[in-house]
């Protein structure tokens, strides 16, 4: 079993958008938020390096998409206020 634990500075809105709690056939993907440290905490357990690579590729594509959406929403909110 290959285990990866990663902590990334983040905010709660991003983590809520990425929350994954998936357990099936030897695969575990869990996303949580540590309010004290303001970190996204990702835990992945899988059987192969290839599977881990695919999971991380997909996860960070989604992470970047969430960041883009939040940025667009913040820009739109600023336009409304003005």
Q: What is the pLDDT of residues 5-40, one digit of tens each?
A: 999 999 888 888 887 666 777 788 988 999 999 999
Q: What's the CATH number where 54 sits? A: 3.30.310
What value does the mean pLDDT of the chain take? 87
CA-nearest of 32, 26, 23 to 5 is: 32
Count up the domains in the chain and report the number.
Answer: 1
- Provide the whole-model pTM: 0.76
Largest CA distance in the chain: 53
Q: Name the pairing type of β-strands 2-9 and 21-24.
A: unpaired
* Average pLDDT over every residue of 33-54: 93
* Average pLDDT over every residue of 45-53: 93
Burial bucket for residue 63 (CB in 10 Å: 0-12, 13-18, 19+): buried
Could you give the CA distance from residue 42 to residue 39 in angstroms, rounded to a whole number? 9
- Res 82: pLDDT: 52
The whole domain housing 60 covers 2-81
């Amino acid at each position: 079993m290959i285990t990866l634990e990663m902590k990334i500075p983040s905010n709660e809105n991003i983590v809520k958008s990425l929350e994954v709690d998936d357990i099936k056939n030897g695969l575990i993907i869990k996303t949580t938020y540590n309010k004290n440290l303001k970190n996204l905490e990702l835990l992945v357990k899988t059987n192969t390096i290839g599977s881990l690579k695919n999971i991380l590729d997909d996860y960070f594509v989604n992470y970047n998409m969430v960041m883009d959406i939040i940025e667009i929403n913040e820009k739109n909110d600023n336009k409304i206020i003005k």
